[in-house]
Amino acid sequence: MDARLRAVLASVTVVMVLAFPVAADEAHADLCLELTDGAVSEAEWTATTEQVVVAVESRSALFPEPTDMADPLRRFDVWSGREGVVAGTGASCLEPGFDWTARFGRDFLEAGADQMLAEAPTTPGIESSVTIEWYPDESRLRTTLVFAGPFDIPNGTCWVDDALSVDTTGGTVVASGEQGVKTSPFAEGACRRFFEHLPDGGAGEQAVTLLPPAVELGDGGMLRFVAGDVMVRGDAIIVSGSLERD
Give residue limits of the domains in the chain: 3-245
Q: What is the mean pLDDT of residues 207-234?
A: 92
| Predicted confidence band of residue 112 (pLDDT cuts 50, 70, 90) | low
% of the chain at pLDDT higher than 70:
78
Contact by Cβ (8 Å): 186, 155: no
Q: What is the pLDDT of residue 22?
A: 38
Q: Among residues 74, 76, 80, 69, which one has the least CA distance to residue 22?
A: 80
